[in-house]
Amino acid sequence: MDDFAIRPATNRDGDAVRALVFGVLREFGFSPDPSGTDADLADLEAAYMGGAFDVLIDAGGRIIGTVGLKALPESRCELRKMYLLPEYRGQGLGGRLLRHAVAHAREFGFTRIELETATALEAAQRMYESFGFRPCDPHRVTCRCDRAYYLDLTAGG
């Protein structure tokens, strides 16, 4: 995995990030929603102020994965847009992105990470659960998400 690096995204990465995220959504039968739930991708720097949006790049600098932490009230954050190109799955890179996001959330002083996902994303749910995320009732559910998880960062996990 030394051929890969995680770095902060900038708005210059917007086209590549949108192409990756929208491609993965379509792969799983979901429609991108650039004026709704995916509007955060129009201005990554502003949408993730107080949090972070990072990209996983290969040795050539190609964006192959994404992960965002959007600040929420009460020292919480939402894990958003964690996607990986199909050809890079199954290599531990999703876990690397998630470990990075959890560490970043702690650095920012967040006490809880929340996320919404879809039943169809079975591998993602297994990964979240292996990291200690627990199912919960969502505060809100986007049109394509029907499940929610949280990770309590104050529990020492």
Can you give the residue ranges of every domain in the chain?
Answer: 5-112
Q: Are 93 and 127 in contact (CB under 8 A)?
A: no
Out of 1.10.760.10, 3.40.630.30, 3.50.50.60, 3.40.605.10, the CATH code matching 5-112 is 3.40.630.30
List of residues 6+ apart from 153 with CB closer than 8 A: 102, 105, 106, 110, 111, 112, 113
- Say if residue 152's pLDDT is above 80: yes
- Quote the strand ranges of the chain, DSSP E: 5-8, 52-57, 63-72, 76-84, 112-117, 134-136, 147-152
pLDDT tier at 139, thresholds 50, 70, 90: low
Higher pLDDT, 120 or 40: 40
Q: What percent of the chain has pLDDT over 70?
A: 92
Left, alpha or beta for 26 (phi > 0: left; psi -120 to 50: alpha)?
alpha
- Look-up of token digits 């990075």: 100
pLDDT tier at 143, thresholds 50, 70, 90: low
- Say if residue 157's pLDDT is above 50: no
Residue 41: per-residue pLDDT: 97
Q: Which of 148, 84, 94 is nearest to 118 (CA)?
A: 148
Q: Which of 77, 74, 62 is nearest to 108 (CA)?
A: 77
Model confidence pLDDT, tens digit, residues 103-118: 999 999 999 999 988 7
Amino acid at 56: L
Q: Which of 84, 147, 80, 151 is nearest to 119 (CA)?
A: 147
- Say if residue 123's pLDDT is above 90: no
The DSSP output letter for 14 is H
What is the average pLDDT score of the chain?
A: 90
Bridge partner residues of 152 (DSSP): 112
Q: What is the pTM of this model?
A: 0.90
Residue 122: per-residue pLDDT: 79
Ranking 7-16, 31-40, 135-144 by mean pLDDT, the lowest is: 135-144
Q: Are 44 and 14 in contact (CB under 8 A)?
A: yes
Strands 112-117 and 134-136: unpaired
Model confidence pLDDT, tens digit, residues 39-59: 999 999 999 999 999 999 999
